[in-house]
Each structure stands twice: as structure tokens, then as C-alpha cells.
Amino acid sequence: MIEKIVYMVCQVLLVLFVAPLVEGIIKKVKARLQNRIGADLVQPYRDLFKYLRKDAVLAKEASWLTRTTPYLVFAVVLGSVSLLPMAALYSPLTFTGDIILLVYLFAVVRFFLAITALDSGSAFGGMGSSREMIMSAICEAALLLAVIAVLMQVGTTNLGVIVESLLTGGRDLFNYAYWLSFVAFLLVVIVETGRIPYDNPDTHLELTMIHEAMLLEYSGRYWGLLHWALLVKQILVFTLFIDLFIPWGIAKEFTGLAIFEGSIFYLLKVILLGILLAVIETLYAKMRLFKVPKLLVVSMALSVLAIVLQIAV
């Protein structure tokens, strides 16, 4: 019991520490692909330290909701870390239906960010929250369809059992349903992390921003907590993708050496996925706002095709 508690604490600390590093790697790779030097890999750590030690400035119309949401979002995201198998098959808070709970926790984060954006009375905040809610109605459906396309192969919603089943049964790399669901979920990863071509995390142009518009009213330690929470959420989305499609290398035994080796493989897979997103962001431009839903519709269509193929087989 003590070993499992220590493992849960170490898993949370690992994600908290690695999340800014992965963001730094993504930005560095993007810079090098664009023939720029870019900031060093530890710049996100400096930014977080700078934000967290500054005082926050809020609008006079802001209520208690604006002050509470950063802590609530940070707590929800940290709680979600315990639902996912990362270095080992064991996940601290695993139970039947945990993958569905994870989808709903992502929705909770989105909901509170949206209503908080309206709380300050900012025009940009209202614009961003309305766009985010419209896109989330399609994004959550696309995410669930992509998950269902994988769940049909194992018949359970328990992430630990899913990963174990995929490791035991293996993945047929020549199976069309696998690649269809792979691409569908990759599109969902791009949307959930707010990256090009869906959104640009580095811009504040009012005509194009979706997610960033909801956060413009925050500053200081509140913005630092939200920024850190969103970096952790990015790692969670990466981990879910890895568990469903690239589970190889995860520790099957709950021993110190096996967990250490599993942690190395896990970090490598997260970094490689981050590099892949950096390459995609470099190859494609930001989509026009009214064409963004088409990206999610493509993901849903691919997931439906994967489901139909599995039923037919």
C-alpha cells in the first residue's frame, strides 16, 4: 500500500516537472525547423517561476469565480494524472469507466474556463468562451468516437485493462481500422492541446484565437497556475494517445527497476509525440475559423469508419 502511494506521488511530480520541459522541446523544434534559434529548453520553467511570484491584477467586475477557477482547474488536472497508466500498467485511481471520467474531467476544465471568461465582462473573454463552447460540442464527440474505436477491440473502459489487453494481444499494423483511429485521435490531440492548424497557442490576435481568448484577463500567479495546469493537461492528452496506440515499453511488473525502465520509455514517447506535433505545426498554417469544425468532422468520420470496419470484421 505504501509503495502504491509513493508511486502515485512520484507520478504526479513527474508530470508536473516534465510538462514544461515538453513544451520547451516543442518550441525549440519549431524554431529550428523555421531556421530560428529559439529559446532554450528551460525557458518554460523560468516563465512559470516569473508568473507564480507576481501579484495578480483582476478586473473590478470579477467575482470569486475568477479567483477560484485557477486553483480548481489545477486540482482537477492533477487528479486526472492518477487515472492514467504511465510508467507502469498500474494507475492509482483505476476503476471501470475511468476513461469516460477522464473525458468528463476535460469537459469540467473547459466549462469553468468558459464561464470565468464571461465573469470579467471582457468582450474578448466572451468571444473566446463562445467559440470554445461551439468547438467543444464537436470536439467531445470526436474524442469519444476515437476512444470507442479502440474500446471495441477490448470491450472495457478501464485504462489499465485496455493497455494490458493491447500489450497481450498486440496491434495489427496492417489493420486499416487501427490507422483510421490513429489519425482520428491524433487530430483530437491537436484540438485538445490547442495547436496549429486548430489554434495557435503563441498568438493573441482577436480574429483567430479560440482558447487563449478565455485567459486574457488573468495575470500573475493565477495565470501561472492556469498555464501550468494546461501544460499538464497537454501531457495527459499525450499519455492517453500513447496508452491507446503506443503502449509498448510500459512496465508490466510493479517493481523499482521495471518502473524506472517504463518511465524512460514513457518520457521518450511523450517527447517524440511532441516533436511530431511541432513538425505538423511547421508544415501547416492556421486554419480559418469557419473551417476549423471540418477538422473535427474529419476525425469523427475516420472514427466511424474504423468502428464500421471492426464490426464488419
Q: pLDDT tens digits, residue range 76-119? A: 998 888 888 888 877 767 666 678 888 888 888 888 888 888 87
As a whole number, mean pLDDT of residues 174-200 equals: 80
What tens digit of pLDDT does each residue of 18-33 get? 999 999 999 899 889 8
* Per-residue pLDDT band at 74 (split at 50, 70, 90): very high
pTM value is 0.88
| pLDDT, tens digit, 9 for 90 and up, residues 131-176 | 777 777 777 778 788 888 777 777 777 777 778 777 776 555 567 7
Number of domains into which the chain is organized: 1
Q: Can you give the pLDDT at residue 169?
A: 65
Q: What is the pLDDT of residue 97?
A: 61
Radius of gyration of the chain (CA): 19
Partners of residue 251 on adjacent β-strands? 88
What's the pLDDT at 297?
83
Cell for 147?
Answer: 476512444
Closest CA to 272 of 186, 150, 143: 186
Instruction: Write the pLDDT tens digit of every residue in 199-250.
Output: 776 666 555 666 776 777 788 888 889 889 989 999 999 998 898 888 888 8
Which residues are within 8 A (CB) of 196 and not within 5 positions of it... i.e. 6 or more apart? 190, 280, 281, 284, 285, 286
Peptide bond into 197 cis (omega under 30): yes
Instruction: Provide the residue range defining the domain that includes 231.
Output: 2-312
- Least Cα distance to 208 among 283, 288, 136 occurs for 288
In the predicted model, is pLDDT for residue 290 greater than 70? Answer: yes
Tell me the C-alpha distance between 23 and 123, whole Å: 29
